[in-house]
Amino acid sequence: DLLTQEKLSAAQDTLVAWVEDYFLPSALGYVLIYILVVALSVPGASVLTITGGFLFGPWIATLLVNIGATLGAFLVFLAARFILGKSVQQKYAKSLAKFNREIDENGQSYLLTLRFIPIFPFWLINLMAGFTTVKARTFLWTTAVGIIPGSFVYAYIGHAGQAVFERGIFTPEILIALILLALIS
């Protein structure tokens, strides 16, 4: 009884109105939750991104997701770097010498590629990058830029979900969302 279209539509209207009335606290709360989810490597960031698109629209949600995900990823990167990264580098210095040279020369290309391709788990990239010699600022900017396409697609899917409540399942928004999802895949 709780999952009828009428009840979900009423809940949607209430949530969207609350976000509109209390935009700044809503946006800050959303970013903080996103930072925690990513920093703690809790599964569900995709659902959180879709929810952001539903509540804030695709453009604002993409911006908020980018801030939250980048900061959360950076916390994981720093933790990995300072807790285990230095000891891994010291213990395996000889074995990692060629790898480190490659990372120093092409690290930004590798990280951007990994971020653009959503096949690789986000949390694993954050963690493993901390074990490398990639510069922190390189990690930050490649994460911020590299997650934009995927974040937008998932936020747009959330935005398209609003159209489902209003006009039914087959809407232009849903078609665009499916095409974008296919392209990013």
What beta strand segments (E) does 58-182 contain?
Answer: none
pLDDT reading at 23 higher than 90: yes
Q: What is the pLDDT of residues 135-147, one digit of tens each?
A: 999 999 999 999 9
Contacts (Cβ under 8 Å, ≥6 apart) of 115: 125, 142, 143, 145, 146, 147
CA nearest neighbour of 68 among 99, 90, 35, 44: 35
pLDDT reading at 169 higher than 90: no
pLDDT reading at 66 higher than 80: yes
Q: What is the pLDDT of residues 2-21, one digit of tens each?
A: 545 566 667 777 888 899 99
pLDDT reading at 154 higher than 80: yes
Mean pLDDT value across residues 62-84: 95
